[in-house]
Copies of this chain bind each other. A is one copy, B any other.
Amino acid sequence: MNKITIDKNKNIPLYMQVYSQIKRFIENGSLPGGYKLPTIRSLAKELGVNNITIINAYKLLEQNGYVYTKVGSGTYVCEDIKKDDEMEENIKSLDQGQFALRKGMINFASSSPNPELFPVEDFRELINRVLKRDGGYAFEYQDTKGYKPLRESVKEFVKKDQIFTSIDNIQIISGGQQGIDVVSKALINFEDAIIAERPTYSWALASFESRGAEILEVELQKDGIDLEELEDKLKKFKPRFIYVIPNFHNPTGITYSEEKKKKLISLAEKYETYVVEDDFASELSFTKEKTLPLKAYDKHDRVIYIKSFSKVYMPGLRLGFIIAPERFVSSFLKAKYVSDLSTSGLMQRAFDLYLRENIWVKHVESIKQVMYERFSEMGRRLENLKNYTEFEHPKGGFYFWLKLKNNLSAKSLYSKCLDRNLMIVPGDIFFMGKKENSFVRLSFASCEVKEIAKGIEILGEILKGYFDENNNVYVPII
């Protein structure tokens, strides 16, 4: 095995140092699948550390799917490790994912409403008003922090979500992904620990990884993140932050209970860390319960709130904002400057009017209605596939998250769907270490009701084929 180095003066726990290095050796292939790791005792001796350090490192490697233990034999490197180039494959498939171009395809993949639903006419008018009013100044560099009137509008806008903040804490960004990137730049140093839900939005993970973070996953339960597992990891790893999507989660559709939201913040306070909240769709609730963002419960100023305008309004705006705890305001500003200097002034000025004059209200009402119809149709149709899949009905957002029965491979299902001009998203891209291969994400964001009916019908036929083929159909009891 390559040499592992330990630095007792570093601010990183020893077993984390051992974990990081072995993980890297596995990922870069210098420890191949099937390789037997040194025994705990021998490695502890070699490094001059306690056995418990190595035990903890190996346990973490196992939890994250890098190694497995054979009782009485030892610890071995797994065969099916996520390689660097896998992310590239994902992006390539996403790039092919310009499926709107492939005629007649039913699109259960896209995470934003179809362009016909965008409030284009309102924006055309607003853009022209801004150009007439501001001329060349609309094309000047904008303040790095964001166009001040827009920050004022945002301050008013978030009051509907029980968020009360100052314009000094608002940082305008070019969409939610940039928000994640800016926060990563400002907060993550090489080898810092980060906690994320398992599964979660994969391009957040990519951003953390790109900064050299060690990502630790914590399981999602039906009402939010597993708080016990979380507390355990908070204690051990002192992570820089916990990244969560508390409302209408991507990909699982899960919404945190109010209780869990509050407890999550208390834990962050207790362990002196922060929660990064990714809010892409909390406007789109299908129930009468109020689904407030985590930030609404943030008494301790522990929540970094990232809001995207891409999904509910229009992706092409490239707009969003961060509400930052006081202490991060200037580091986020610097990270934004390094990223792209500033966000388009024209879009900021137009969106300011859109918020300021409450034009958004009617759009949100109408898109909520449309999404509710699509959600209902998909949910109703999916009920017929309960022989083959397990799932919950989300309380809002865009996604159904299906667990395929009999460990059916989601990738194989994906290919078969593609053959029938149906695009779904295999769930493995939303996991880090140990892959889960039997989940799929279905989005109803960009399909008409009729298409949804057709798409689920196709999906059902394909699933039926699998289960028939394999002679292990689940016969309904009635």
* Minimum CB–CB distance for A205 against chain B, Å: 10
Quick one: closest B residue to A346, CB to CB? B316
Interface-central residue, A91, A120, A141, by most chain B CB under 10 Å: A141
- A175: which B residues are within 8 A, CB to CB? 340-341
Report yes or no: B181 in contact with A338, Cβ–Cβ below 8 A: yes
Give the residue of B115, B116, B127, B203 whose beta carbon is less than 8 angstroms from that of A337.
B203
- A91: which B residues are within 8 A, CB to CB? 144, 330, 333-334, 337
- A316: which B residues are within 8 A, CB to CB? 138-142, 344-346
Interface size, chain A (Cβ < 8 Å): 72
Report yes or no: A120 in contact with B131, Cβ–Cβ below 8 A: yes
Known: A174-B174, A210-B338, A339-B339. A115 touches B137 (CB 8 A): yes
Known: A203-B338, A338-B203. A115 touches B139 (CB 8 A): yes
Report yes or no: B136 in contact with A120, Cβ–Cβ below 8 A: yes
Is A123 positioned at the interface, with any CB of B under 8 Å from its CB?
yes
Is A318 positioned at the interface, with any CB of B under 8 Å from its CB?
yes
Is A228 positioned at the interface, with any CB of B under 8 Å from its CB?
no
* Minimum CB–CB distance for A339 against chain B, Å: 5
Is A407 positioned at the interface, with any CB of B under 8 Å from its CB?
no
Instruction: Report the separation of the CA atoms of residues A127 and B91 in the bound assembly, to the nearest whole angstrom.
Output: 30
Instruction: Report the separation of the CA atoms of residues A124 and B128 in the bound assembly, to the nearest whole angstrom.
Output: 7
* Proximity string of chain A (183-221) to chain B, C-beta cutoff 8 Å, 1 when within and 0 when not: 001000110000000000001001100101000000000
Instruction: Report the separation of the CA atoms of residues A281 and B333 in the bound assembly, to the nearest whole angstrom.
Output: 26
Is A149 positioned at the interface, with any CB of B under 8 Å from its CB?
no
* Proximity string of chain A (1-38) to chain B, C-beta cutoff 8 Å, 1 when within and 0 when not: 01101011100000000000000000000000000000
Report yes or no: A344 in contact with B347, Cβ–Cβ below 8 A: yes
- A65: which B residues are within 8 A, CB to CB? none
Is A414 positioned at the interface, with any CB of B under 8 Å from its CB?
no
Quick one: closest B residue to A206, CB to CB? B338
- A135: which B residues are within 8 A, CB to CB? 115-116, 118, 120
* Minimum CB–CB distance for A285 against chain B, Å: 24
Instruction: Report the separation of the CA atoms of residues A94 and B92 in the bound assembly, to the nearest whole angstrom.
Output: 39
- A98: which B residues are within 8 A, CB to CB? 143
- Name 18 extra pairs, CB < 8 A, besides A115-B140, A127-B131: A3-B7, A5-B9, A94-B337, A100-B140, A114-B136, A118-B136, A120-B138, A124-B128, A139-B314, A140-B315, A177-B339, A177-B340, A177-B341, A203-B341, A207-B338, A210-B338, A318-B342, A318-B343
Q: Which 4 A-B pairs have the closest CB atoms?
A: A115-B136, A139-B316, A118-B136, A139-B314
